Structure 1
Amino acid sequence: MPDRIEQIVEAARALIEEGGSQALTMRAIADRLGIRAPSLYKHFPDKLAVEAGVIAIAMNELAAELAKAESLTELAAAYRAYALEHPHLYRLMNSGPLPRHLLPAGVEDRAALPLVRVAGNEDLARAIWAFAHGMVILELDGRFPPGADLGSAWRTGLSAFGFADTAAKTRPGGSRTR
């Protein structure tokens, strides 16, 4: 990425991390960079294109974290950890239609590859991702009752996909069960 484009995307990411997608405006990006908002349009046609740049970076980061996983349980733990550490980025990546036409070629596939590799096929990977996304978004939204054993819920959900051996060994979040 050329320097100014990278600066714009970094500023946009910071705004999203701090205040969610609603904090991202072209004026807020320009203010953060100390430039005038119209200058941004030399590099990006609109806010959606800037968001796509942020999504691409986040997907690459998530893909790198997921690639370290050797089991479904490790993968689920990494996915959950990324979402909880970057809740606003997670929502941007996973809420509403994905602007695929604005993303770099292959970025979505790179993000999905670790799960497809562990699951063994795309259909099972999609089902597992839907479970993981549901669990994460409910956790982010504070929808589980206080004191709910989310580690147990994750293990139960993962074992339902036929991964009982790996699901019983490690809790999402990385802690071992005994």
Structure 2
Amino acid sequence: MARLKTHDEALRLKLINRAAATVFDRGTAALSLRRLAADVKTSTTAVYSLFGNKAGLLDSLYREAARLFVARLATVDSSDDPAADVIRLGKAYREYALANPHLYAIMFADRTVDYEPTPERRNEVGETIQPLVDAVVRGQAAGQFKDGSPDVIALSCWGAAHGLVSLELSGNEPPGLDIGDAYEATLRAVVSGWRRG
């Protein structure tokens, strides 16, 4: 009697990382489950067993990207200086994106044109801003930030981070300028704009 082959977490992550790299480099149209299996030296049966189909793989890819992003942001501990925490969260955002450009692009770039994330997946990505909102709320309670919607303040910081990271990852920064040099200064300027008097 043949033993059933089990497909473990290590194989699942290997397939997700390879699929993410393919989508990042060439888009979802280039993602073939048969080719993915060959690249990772496993069977197509393993891919189908773990993900069901291409849509299931893309859904898992999206979820894993969000999970790892949340885990990276969670390494930023809250301090008694919420404004500094906002800066540190912005730095963690960039560090994640630069270390995982293929996963970052799954969440925030238009690389998955034939995949529509479920509302649940969109919510998971949308909730990644929550540590920043929480830092702003603490900053308002401590008198560091102006009154107003903490969501708006957090979104402006998030947008500045996202814009610079997107320019950096796409290689579209203006000639002669280094986003790395400007990144923290930009975050500080945005935070400064929301500080009280």
TM-score (norm 1): 0.71
Q: 1:156 aligns with which of 159, 178, 186?
A: 186
CA distance in 1, matches of 2:46, 2:53: 12
Counterpart for residue 137 of structure 1: 166
1:4 aligns with 2:7: yes
Counterpart for residue 56 of structure 2: 49
Counterpart for residue 92 of structure 1: 106
The Cα offsets for residues 1-29 of structure 1, whole Å up to 9 and x where unpaired, read as: xx637434531323424772536321222
Counterpart for residue 32 of structure 2: 25
Higher-Rg structure is 2
Offset, 1:30: 2.2
1:78 aligns with 2:108: no
Q: How many residues get paired?
A: 161
Q: 1:149 to 1:12 in 2, by over 3 A?
A: closer
SS at match of 1:152: helix
CA distance in 2, matches of 1:20, 1:5: 24
The Cα offsets for residues 38-91 of structure 1, whole Å up to 9 and x where unpaired, read as: 664455343232122122122122112212224111111111011011111111
**Structure 2 gap ranges (5+):** 1-5, 79-84, 138-149
Counterpart for residue 111 of structure 1: 128
Tell me if the contact between 2:129 and 2:158 (Cα under 8 Å) persists in the aligned partners: no
Q: 1:122 to 1:21 in 2, by over 3 A?
A: farther
Q: Percent identity?
A: 27
CA distance in 2, matches of 1:8, 1:29: 12
Deviates more, 1:75-84 or 1:54-63: 54-63
1:58 aligns with 2:87: no
State the Cα RMSD in Å. 3.1
CA distance in 2, matches of 1:124, 1:146: 30
Q: 1:129 to 1:53 in 2, by over 3 A?
A: same
Q: 1:110 to 1:164 in 2, by over 3 A?
A: closer
Q: 1:57 to 1:74 in 2, by over 3 A?
A: same
Deviates more, 1:62-71 or 1:18-27: 18-27
**Structure 1 gap ranges (5+):** 166-178
Tell me if the contact between 1:158 and 1:164 (Cα under 8 Å) persists in the aligned partners: no
Offset, 1:139: 0.5
Q: 1:118 to 1:30 in 2, by over 3 A?
A: same
CA distance in 1, matches of 2:72, 2:47: 31
Counterpart for residue 141 of structure 2: none
Deviates more, 1:110-119 or 1:20-29: 20-29
Q: 1:8 to 1:68 in 2, by over 3 A?
A: closer
